[in-house]
Amino acid sequence: INENLLICGRYKLQIGPPEYRTKTSVVLRAQDLSEQADYDVIFDNADKDKSGKLDKEELKEISGTIGLDPGMFLRGSGKAI
């Protein structure tokens, strides 16, 4: 059944109720697999010292790439995340 959940080999249908329904159509939620970020690669590239953790500067560099506000992480103790 999982093979049938991919549309054009790119979109994976999400299990759950329809987003919208009319008399003639049903709108389902789907995930665009071609748009997925490879977070392992992003992390490894940002981890300049290869410590397995991101310090403030490393995190600041990638936060925009992964769609997060840098200030959200940079408040506080200054420890690596």
* DSSP letter, residue 29: -
Instruction: For residue 39, give both structure tokens.
Output: 């977070």
What is the predicted pLDDT for the residue at 22?
A: 93
pTM to 2 decimals?
0.44
Strand 26-27 and strand 11-13: pairing? unpaired
CB–CB of 81/53 below 8 Å?
Answer: yes
pLDDT digits (tens, 9 = 90+) for 9-54: 677 788 889 999 999 999 888 877 776 677 788 888 888 888 988 8
What is the predicted pLDDT for the residue at 5?
A: 57
**Residue 7: partners with Cβ closer than 8 Å, 6 or more residues away:** 13, 30
CB–CB of 80/46 below 8 Å?
Answer: no
